[in-house]
Amino acid sequence: MAVLQKIRVKFGLLASIIIAIGLLLFIVDPSSVASAVQSMSSKFDVGEINGKSVSYTDFQEDIQKYTTINEMLTGGSAQNAQQQAQIRNQAWEQLVFKYLFLSKAHDAGIFVGDKELVDMTAGSNLSPMIAQNPVFLDEQGNFSPENVSFFIQQMSQDNSGRYRMYWDWLQTNIENNRYFEKYASLFTASMKDNSLMLQKAIAENNTTSDVEFVMIPFGYAKDSSVVVSDKEIKDFYNSHKDFYKQQASRDIEYVVYEVNPSDADIAATQESIVNLAPKFENAENVTNFMMKNSDKPYTDFWYKRGDFKNTSAEIEKAVWEGKSDVSGVIREGNNFYISRVLDTKNVPDSVYVRHILLQGENAEHQADSLVKVLAKGGNFSNLAAMYSLDQQAADGGEKGNIGWLTQTYNIPGFESVFTADKKKPFVLKTQYGFHVVEVVKTTELLKKKKVAVLTKEALASKETFNEVYGHANDFATMANGSYKNYKKAVDSLGVYSHPVSKMLESANNLGAIEETKEVTRWAFEKKAGEVSQIMTVNNNYFVVAVVTGVHKEGYADLKEVSPYISEMLYHEKLRVKKQEEVAAQIAGMTDLQAIAEKFNTTVSTHNGVTFASMGNQQLDPAFIGAVSVAPLNEIAKPVAGSIAVYVYKVTNREVGSFFTESDAKTQQMQMSNYMTNMIIPVMMQDADVKDNRAHFY
């Protein structure tokens, strides 16, 4: 228990179908069943990696494994939606590494040997996952080989198999990281700039130009003389088809009716908490009272100044500055609170604890006897080694030592250790049995308070819920059948229709509304123009949607992307035309001021233009590039940027020394890191990895 607790404390945060098939085997030829299952299996694959199909069943087993590890690290079994998504991502990434990356690494002649792995886990070349792992550090925060050995010894005594699972997880990650380091080194080693390349980078960053220029905007009016043909669009599409590769997606519009408490609901909630106030103030058993009457139960916690600020500034003020232990009714939005201070003491944030765990009929008597032995000078560590059932508690090598505990990361039933006297053993009963507990040391004592906060949230009543549903039903009835009907309903009822473009199958939110997977699944099952019935989200939103567009996986249809290609080609042609027109109009002119007057504009200046930092100068990249190579004190040929034609003259150029060889190498390292981060994504794209997890989650 103690080692698991240490992981939690120090880390902080890191069948019916089977039965049916089994029955079928009694009446159907097994080979026929196998054939049928095989034909259906592809529909239940969560993906395909490097030609390897990943079944839903296998993927769920991996998820369960990583869920167990997450429980070990966090100490909690409840997983919110975000944690579940992170666990699924971790499981998927490990499969990509296993079936794709390792194959590529082996093809490149890269291997990690058994001796190398041992060296990284218990030798002289320790992996950071071992050397910096809080589980294996001593009290001073230094790596302890003894703690590693102790952990490995405990694996043989752990019947649950969780220690072994955690150790295997560590080793797998250590080995995978080593593989990646070796493979990535092929790229980083090949990206070393020679001396000429370094000199060029230094020169580009140190050379600055001062420039005077006249900017002649293209204007916003469409130029009818610039024409883009269908053939040009098609040719561009065919030669740049990879630009238009897409995931499957849907375009939808939706109307949402949110269920909010009415004024009557809010007033009823306020009246309810006002009526409870006298009983709350005088309640002797606050825990039971809160359990029966509060939306949130009482938490046996010592609060310090500032702890209530995120909940309510008024509660914070009432607790620490109020003249009475009990506040008045405090409202924050649709929530109502009454706070009651139960106790005030000086309490530490953390305590270092050791214990002896005893179980059985005679456990309490035995615990009392051991307290007496300790009072007479008995050695706690020796007694823990002799009597404690928790032999895994040995922080710092001392038997019985649990280590540092906080109120957040604590053993259930150990709440009293935060107010216990130091170095005075006492008996404590928990769900695990009877404990002889001693607080060895604590952090600084702080003034803290135990506070009960009676909470009532105003919720929509059944009447309000039905009323909102009625409005949604009116819309759904009117919109049923077609997009045309949907638009009529929007106009007739005066509601807002929210557009969503290219919604992916993995989408799980609509704007600020979360957990909308039902809407996403519906959209991917329907054709363009189909309108939904009412879909309820979180029991708080009623959604009616219509599919307005279907985009299949693969290459976008030419018709769909033609407008974008046409606009791009038009702009390219316009740039060329405007540049040629300006060049013709200024032919023979040698004065920028005269050129500016010709186009009814002014001469602008910009100093310190540097080619190597285009994105930081708020100038058109094409203009910056031209300035960097233009001759001094000559009006250069016009250059067309993204929105204007520039006529310019470089008036000064200087070479500084602020960008050094060290800076150039840092820049090279940043590029190398970017390349390294792209290794696996590029591999996945090249292997055409299919990720179908959105079908299931």
**Residue 9 clears pLDDT 80, i.e. is over it:** no
Give 238's Cβ-side CA count (13 Å radius).
6
Environment class of residue 562 by beta-carbon count within 10 Å: exposed (0-12), middle (13-18) or buried (19+)?
middle
Predicted local distance difference test score (pLDDT) of residue 457: 96
In sign, the C-alpha dihedral spanning 685, 689, 695, 697 is negative
- The residue type of 608 is G
Please write the tens of the pLDDT for every residue from 276-286: 999 999 999 99
- Determine how many CB atoms are found less than 10 A away from the CB of residue 436: 27
d(CA 521, CA 691): 16
Q: Which residues contact 304 (CB under 8 A, 6 or more apart)?
A: 446, 447, 448
Q: Considering only 15-19, 329-333, 378-382, 581-585, which range has the smallest mean pLDDT?
A: 15-19
Q: Give percent of the chain above pLDDT 90.
A: 70
**Residue 577 clears pLDDT 90, i.e. is over it:** yes
Cα separation values, 399 from 143, 387, 642, Å: 19, 11, 73
Predicted local distance difference test score (pLDDT) of residue 471: 97
| Cβ(689)–Cβ(90) below 8 Å | no
Please write the tens of the pLDDT for every residue from 586-626: 999 999 999 999 999 999 999 988 887 655 567 899 999 99
| Cβ(256)–Cβ(543) below 8 Å | yes
- 42 pLDDT band, cuts 50/70/90, is low
CA angle 30, 36, 42 (to 5 degrees): 135
Task: With residue 111 as reference, give the H or E element that holds it.
Answer: none
d(CA 112, CA 135): 25
- 269 pLDDT band, cuts 50/70/90, is very high
- The residue type of 387 is Y
Mean pLDDT computed over 662-681: 81
Give 635's Cβ-side CA count (13 Å radius).
18
**368/157: higher pLDDT:** 368
Predicted local distance difference test score (pLDDT) of residue 671: 78
- The residue type of 182 is K
Cα separation values, 544 from 475, 495, 516, 663, Å: 8, 12, 12, 56
- 2 pLDDT band, cuts 50/70/90, is very low
Task: With residue 652 as reference, give the H or E element that holds it.
Answer: strand 644-655
d(CA 655, CA 608): 10
Rg (CA), the chain: 35
Q: How many helices (H) and strands (E) does the chain have?
A: 25, 23
Mean pLDDT computed over 672-692: 90
d(CA 574, CA 582): 12
CA angle 138, 143, 148 (to 5 degrees): 85
Environment class of residue 384 by beta-carbon count within 10 Å: exposed (0-12), middle (13-18) or buried (19+)?
buried
Please write the tens of the pLDDT for every residue from 488-512: 999 999 999 999 999 999 999 999 9
Residue 432 is given by DSSP the state: T
Mean pLDDT in the chain?
Answer: 88
Environment class of residue 665 by beta-carbon count within 10 Å: exposed (0-12), middle (13-18) or buried (19+)?
middle
Three-state SS at 634: coil
| Cβ(231)–Cβ(471) below 8 Å | no
**Residue 341 clears pLDDT 50, i.e. is over it:** yes
**Residue 336 clears pLDDT 90, i.e. is over it:** yes
Give 297's Cβ-side CA count (13 Å radius).
7
Environment class of residue 615 by beta-carbon count within 10 Å: exposed (0-12), middle (13-18) or buried (19+)?
exposed
- In sequence order, the β-bridge partners of residue 632 are 650
pTM tops 0.75, yes or no = no
Look up residue 315 and give its two tokens: 């509660």
Residue 42 is given by DSSP the state: G
User: DSSP string of 550-602?
Assistant: EE-SEEPPHHHHHHHHHHHHHHHHHHHHHHHHHHHHTTT---HHHHHHHTT--
Of 434, 171, 445, 174, nearest to 302 by C-alpha is 445
Three-state SS at 120: helix
- 387 pLDDT band, cuts 50/70/90, is very high
Mean pLDDT computed over 414-440: 94
- The residue type of 656 is G
Residue 99 is given by DSSP the state: I
- In sequence order, the β-bridge partners of residue 356 are 436
| Cβ(422)–Cβ(350) below 8 Å | no
- 687 pLDDT band, cuts 50/70/90, is very high
Mean pLDDT computed over 258-263: 96
**Residue 4 clears pLDDT 80, i.e. is over it:** no
Q: Distance between the two ends of the chain, CA-based, in angstroms?
A: 34
Predicted local distance difference test score (pLDDT) of residue 150: 83
Ranges of H-type helices in 54-161: 56-74, 81-96, 102-107, 114-122, 128-131, 145-155
Predicted local distance difference test score (pLDDT) of residue 618: 78
| Cβ(7)–Cβ(72) below 8 Å | yes
Predicted local distance difference test score (pLDDT) of residue 193: 65
Please write the tens of the pLDDT for every residue from 448-492: 999 999 999 999 999 999 999 999 999 999 999 999 999 999 999
Predicted local distance difference test score (pLDDT) of residue 27: 36
d(CA 334, CA 540): 15
Please write the tens of the pLDDT for every residue from 409-419: 888 899 999 99
Predicted local distance difference test score (pLDDT) of residue 367: 96
